[in-house]
Amino acid sequence: MELKLPYLLKNTNICYYDEQNLYIGNRKIFPFEKSFVACRTSEEIANAIKNMTTQGGGPLQVALTSMCYLAAQMCNNNLEYDFDILNNNMQNIIKSRPTNTTMKRVIEELLLKLHVPMSKSSPEQFRNYVIENVKEIENEENLIYHNMGILGSSLINDGDTILTTCFAEHTLILSLYYAMKEGKKINVLANETRPYFQVARLTAPSMREMGIPVKIISDSMGAHFMRSGEINHYMSASDLVCMDGTVVNKVGTLANAISANYYGIPYTAFSMSPDTTKNNKTEIEMENRDGRELLSVFNHPISEEGIDALYPSFDIIDSELVTNIVTNKGIFSPSKIQENFK
Amino acid sequence: MELKLPYLLKNTNICYYDEQNLYIGNRKIFPFEKSFVACRTSEEIANAIKNMTTQGGGPLQVALTSMCYLAAQMCNNNLEYDFDILNNNMQNIIKSRPTNTTMKRVIEELLLKLHVPMSKSSPEQFRNYVIENVKEIENEENLIYHNMGILGSSLINDGDTILTTCFAEHTLILSLYYAMKEGKKINVLANETRPYFQVARLTAPSMREMGIPVKIISDSMGAHFMRSGEINHYMSASDLVCMDGTVVNKVGTLANAISANYYGIPYTAFSMSPDTTKNNKTEIEMENRDGRELLSVFNHPISEEGIDALYPSFDIIDSELVTNIVTNKGIFSPSKIQENFK
């Protein structure tokens, strides 16, 4: 079983740039079309992220590539390095996804690192230094993905059927990959994830590319298959993990976590980096999206004109519902996050 | 607040017939079109029910009207009354929806009632007797709906927000109507109910017609709004209630019932007639539909060709998750169903 990451997880399919534009892989229309949205400014990049052109780990990768793109633009236009301009542009991008704070932290650390040594550099030096640092972060991330995949695979038993929600990307996909590599037979049930059908459009095709057996169910069916004994483990990504072990993830995760708890099925969340700045759930900034996003599917209305909908994007999953949090430092129960990260 | 039932609940919009055809109101495309599917034979009627042209309480109303239609056909063709032919035709229709056993029981009782007195009647006498009996059943049902609506309204408090799934029809809608008539302020959150979006297409427009404030959420969001304290009561219809208090209803009901239980929120199911022939959950016949029904929405695929889906239509909600069962005889806890109905 040779490791070949699926189309969607290759960095250049998430985002790339040329002299004119930054191009963001359009996850809103994948797998029906493999196309990119071209952006020129940080405002356009931020809007594309807000509009869900990319999601999950995509915004972080877009932000990293944006720094390279913006540095290259400054260089092309022969502009001196100006921290304030770069910082303002990156702040535009960071603000586009308030609940997932990983992008904010990684980018702000990088800006801080660049600030002093770059203050007197030439445009070329600056561009090269940014590219070098981003490459370093990407390499580190790659090691973390594989490490977390190996940790995650240790939680999966031969014969397990795993339920998952939304698009948990590298960490879950690599966990399943390593489990299968060890000879474990596994199946995945994946709940479609309205309103954007991320499971159906992103997760299931990516798993199929990796040879992972996957079937789609609706968002309403997780509990059904837990009751029938057909699900052994619920696994999801997390957009945020607080120091008290609270997990934030795509809306729908909470209902599955409660059902898993009711039937004694473990719930495991993956977290690249628990947020040391968030002590507990009171400090979470929750993203509420426009309810109208629910009200049409592929441009077809689902209801009568004038009836409203609500769309809270994320669930807060209280720590008592979480069995394991897989991090780069190891697998922890929620109560052990604080002592291992703060 | 004048009572005017919404379009979908008027008997003639569920089903009517003329000399040629039986016409079934097409709930698959409501509210985008108000149209009917024409059927000539019991096989065509059964297929229309299987294809979800109608649902919820619709199949029972279609079966009742079908008996009138078939009797009128026999009369038009000047055929003698033949119990076996009528029975065979009605059995075709009954089998089209195996999990909801109300249709089966009501129709079989009616057939039994017709059998002996009709054995020597003229075609006209037979037709008139069927129509008379069906009218009587419809009038009884109407009284039951209102009685259950008044009972249901007693469970609703001023200021409540009610969560509901799928299309709970008369009993829930009349409960909300009577609650509002008593001056209670209420709101409804309704989870869209994939794959057919019954809430968005049927429930929300019907509630709006009745002046009931309703908002649509996705199937994944019930737990979210229970956690946030925005839901006070979960209410649904039931396709079947067993003597041990087990409730069967549209898939997705279980996840909401478990979440309600977790947050201490009552779950109330409405049942026109608990099934005295089903002692417990081991005797339930569950309908599994083709997973492909999930895989396209308004004729647009949601995933890549060749990826499979599963579609169990119904959930079994174990009695420990059920707070109240509203019946025509009163409101009971699940443990009291047996002694009140058997």
- Chain B contact probe: residue of A196, A221, A316, A319 with most B CBs at under 10 A: A221
Q: Which of A251, A294, A303 lies at the smallest CB-CB distance from B201?
A: A303
Q: B170-197, pLDDT tens digit by residue?
A: 999 999 999 999 999 999 999 999 999 9
- CA gap A17, A40 in Å, rounded: 10
> A208 contacts in B (CB within 8 Å)?
304, 306-307
Strand order across the beta sheet in which B214-217 lies: B214-217, B187-191, B161-165, B233-236, B267-270, B324-327, B330-332
Query: In this predicted structure, what is the pLDDT of residue A126?
Result: 86
Q: Can you read off the two tokens belonging to residue A317?
A: 């999953």
Q: Long-range CB contacts (< 8 A, 24+ apart) of B154-157? A: B154/B331, B155/B233, B155/B266, B155/B268, B155/B324, B155/B326, B155/B331, B156/B184, B156/B186, B156/B233, B157/B184, B157/B232
The whole-number pLDDT of residue B251 equals 97
Instruction: Supply the ipTM of this predicted assembly.
Output: 0.94
Q: Do B195 and A218 touch (CB under 8 A)?
A: yes
What is the pLDDT of chain A when averaged over all its residues? Answer: 94
Query: What is the per-residue pLDDT across A2-24, written as a single tens digit (0 to 9) for each?
Result: 788 999 999 999 999 999 999 99
| Cα B330–Cα B257–Cα B239 angle in degrees, nearest 5 | 55
pLDDT class of B312 with cuts at 50, 70, 90? very high
Query: Which residues of B are less than 8 Å from A225 in CB distance?
Result: 310, 312
Range of weakest confidence among A76-90, A316-330, B263-277: A76-90
> Distance of CA B184 to CAs A266, B155, B159, B168, Å?
42, 11, 7, 20
What is the pLDDT confidence band of residue A303, given thresholds at 50, 70 and 90? very high
Hey, are the CB atoms on A189 and B310 less than 8 Å from each other? yes
DSSP-derived 3-state class of residue A325: strand
Mean pLDDT, range B229-257, rounded to an integer: 97
User: Which residues in A lie closer than 8 A to residue B306 (C-beta atoms)?
Assistant: 208
Shortest distance, CA A283 to any CA of chain B (angstroms)? 15
- Cβ contact (<8 Å) for A194 and B256? no
- Of A32, A218, A303, which has the smallest distance from its Cβ to B216's Cβ? A303
pLDDT in the model for residue B1? 63
Backbone angles phi, psi at A335, to 5 degrees: -70, -15
The share of chain A scoring above pLDDT 70, in percent, equals 98
Interchain CB distance below 8 Å, A310 and B256: no
Percent of chain A whose pLDDT exceeds 90: 85
Interface test with A, best of B209, B218, B219, B267 (most A CBs within 10 A): B218
Residues 6+ apart with CB under 8 A from B255: A220, A222, A223, A224, A255, A256, A258, A259, B219, B222, B223, B315
Q: How many CB pairs under 8 A join A and B?
A: 191
CB atoms A298 and B295 under 8 Å: no
Predicted pLDDT of residue A1? 63
Q: Which residue has the tokens 């009647």?
A: B121
Pairing of strands B267-270, B161-165: unpaired
List, for residues A159-186, the tens digit of each pLDDT value: 999 999 999 999 999 999 999 999 999 9
- Is residue B291 over pLDDT 80? yes
Quick one: pLDDT band at residue B29, thresholds 50, 70, 90?
very high
Between chains, do A303 and B32 touch, taking CB under 8 Å as contact?
no
Tell me if the pTM is above 0.80. yes
The token pair that represents B267 in the structure block? 């779950």
Nearest to B227 among A217, A221, A316 (CB): A316
Task: Tell me, rounded to whole angstroms, the distance of Cα B235 from its chain centroid.
Answer: 14
